Chains A and B, each alone.
Chain A
Amino acid sequence: MSDETQDSKHAPNVTRRRFLTALVTVSGAAVAGTIAIPMVKSLDPTAAAAALATTTIDLSPIEPGMQMVALWQEKPVIVVNRTPEMLATLDEAEQKGILKDPNCNVPQQPPYCKNKYRSRVPEWYVGIKICNHLCCIPHYRPKKASVAPWWLGGFHCPCHGSMYDLSARVIKGSPAPHNMAVPEYDIDVAKKTVVVTKMYPLAHLC
């Protein structure tokens, strides 16, 4: 039957049609979204990947003054058992004015690590051992005067010479702009475990 020419008895109710079409479009979009959103979410990291996302580090083998490096989410995490002498050098570095960001104003660490120790517990430094300049892995150089005559102890990067103190705060003269990143973690000193949980979102690794 011909469709364009209608007599007035069968004239289409345009308003009703528009209203129904709008309803169908909106609910149809909702249906499409109900199907599409889980589809996209299924590409999120799986529970298997999430299980690998945290690393538990045992502190018992780390002697005072020693470091240990563990792999977490394919990145090196360093744990240092800092002696009181090492902790004293942190104040000394601040007094000598050699640090670029002594007060950790740039948020390279979770809020609970925004202090001169850059850790939850002063003796135990937990950080990601990646140089903030161009992502090399710096060396742990705790011995005084080892890197330079004025060296108090800290980290020294072999690639382009960036230097950090024993809280991984960047020293002036280094090409690296910021302190090394500290991840989010939990520590249980009695049980001697550190569980590294996730990256601190505001920190820049390198």
Chain B
Amino acid sequence: MKKYVMWAGMALGLFAGSASGAFADDGPQLLTPHYTYNAKTIISGARLFATNCMACHSIKFMRYEFLTHDLGMSRADVQKDIMLPTGSTFKDNMTSAMPTQMAHKWFGLPPPDLSQMVRYKGQDWIYTYLLSFYQDPKRPSGWNNHVFPNVAMPDVLAPYGGIVNEHGKLLRAGDESPQKFKEQVTDIVAFLRFVSDPSVVQRHDDGPWVLGLLAFFTIVAYFLKKEYWKEVK
């Protein structure tokens, strides 16, 4: 019997390995930085996202009020740093300012909603993507990207991270040091990861209690079982 458990464990291990297979074969090698995932990095990412990304990208399943009770931001901070000044109210969804018709006109297709993007593409893909922009005069936007060739999106983070050409030569330095810029990008990814599943806060808060109660039940049930099975010879 034990060997079946071993084979089952092996199979599960195989699956865990194969799960990431879907996207590993296309595009360049993805960077795998270390992500610090806590309220501080997520809030920092939220501010960066609101400033730089929300002009075009919505995260429509997210509501501003979730930033308070899930992350512990104060309502004032949310209203100051995150909410667009276009008449959103606190309970609204976090949509972008860009009307869809304009998006079609300017970019050819609307910038996608990013609510689930971390689940879809993965943290490493988004991180590498944001660090892979380069100047390309042949493109209408003037930008291109190694991870997503001929993407319509410009490098909005260029002021922070600087501008490089296709071969990685630095053309203009950004305002932040390379180390700090990478931190900012991991913060944005951390925020997007939170957005893709805000239940993580409640899950990790409640999880130990639920599992603790279940463990107590299981232990007591075990003793009850043994009490009856003493009779079985």
Contact = CB atoms under 8 A, between A and B. Distances in A.
**Interface SS of chain B: helix, strand, loop or mixed?**
helix
Given A34-B210, A56-B89, A16 B227 contact: yes
B227 A20 contact: yes
Interface size, B (range): 20 to 34
A17 B214 CA distance: 20
A54 B91 CA distance: 9
Interface string A28-59: 10110010000000000001001100101000
Interface size, A (range): 20 to 34
A191 interface: no
Interface in B116-165: none
B232 interface: yes
A24 B231 contact: no
Contacts of B230: 10, 12
A72 to B, nearest CB: 14
A70 B23 CA distance: 51
B232 A1 contact: yes
A31 B217 contact: yes
Contacts of A23: 220, 224
B233 A31 contact: no
Nearest to B214: A31
Given A31-B213, A47-B91, A24 B63 contact: no
Contact of B231 (A6, A21, A28): A6
A3 interface: yes
Contacts of A103: none
B8 interface: no
A192 to B, nearest CB: 14
B176 to A, nearest CB: 36
A30 B213 contact: yes
A13 interface: yes
A24 B221 contact: yes
A105 interface: no
Contacts of A28: 217, 221
28 contacts: A6-B231, A10-B231, A17-B224, A17-B227, A17-B228, A20-B220, A20-B224, A21-B224, A23-B220, A23-B224, A24-B220, A24-B221, A24-B224, A27-B213, A27-B220, A28-B221, A30-B213, A30-B217, A31-B217, A34-B210, A34-B213, A47-B65, A47-B66, A47-B91, A51-B63, A51-B89, A51-B92, A56-B89
Interface of A: 1, 3, 6, 10, 12-13, 16-17, 20-21, 23-24, 27-28, 30-31, 34, 47, 50-51, 54, 56
